[in-house]
Amino acid sequence: MRPFPRRTYRSLGQAWADVKDVVQRRALLRSTMRGGLSPQFRERLMLAVTAVNECRYCAYFHLKVADAIGLSASEARSLLDRRFDDCPTEELTALLYAQHWAASDAQPDSTMRARLIEAYGSEQADRIELTLRLIRIGNLLGNTFDAILYAVSAGRLGQPQPKGVVHHGDCT
């Protein structure tokens, strides 16, 4: 059996560190969710991270949320394909940072973080990173669940879909 190919939590301590970070910044979380970042911007960020981490559960859920808040199905699917063609230009720096942040396992390059702060200011950068941390928790928990299914079924369950395939039903 091949190793499970997606990023997962490697320990309870790693998962706890992510949750603890969010809990410690709950005031910032409240302000972020109450207008600090628009719902559309938050969803774009979440879809950008989900595209990197390839969590099938989060892809399904966030395609539904994107539809509910008015993002077009083509824009949401493009984000899951790691393309930003339909995204507002003022969000591109944050979306590229989100991809980098996820690909670097939440250990972004200091130069990339400096660009984020330069583009959005320190407070907005903190809101963006908190949003990325939230979706990371969901992505890695979903993938960890799939990794367990994969292990106990000798590779028959929990397998990722072929690249570019997300079973999400009709989200339009």
Q: Span 146-166, mean pLDDT?
A: 75
3-state helix, strand, coil in the chain (%, to 5): 70, 0, 30
Across 106-110, 148-152, 156-160, the highest mean pLDDT is recorded for 106-110
The mean pLDDT value for 10-33 works out to 96
Break the chain into its structural domains and give their ranges: 12-152
The DSSP annotation for 106-120 comes to T---HHHHHHHHHHH
75-113: burial string, b at 16+ Cβ within 10 Å, e else: bbbbbbeeebeebeeebebbbebbbbbbeeebebeeeee
Proportion of the chain above pLDDT 70, given as a percent? 92
Question: Token digits for 86?
Answer: 């339909």
Minimal CA–CA distance to 88: which of 101, 111, 71, 102?
71
- Specify the pLDDT at position 5: 85
Out of 35-44, 83-92, 122-131, 163-172, pick the least confident: 163-172
pLDDT at residue 167 is higher than 90: no
Q: Does domain 12-152 have CATH number 1.20.1290.10?
A: yes
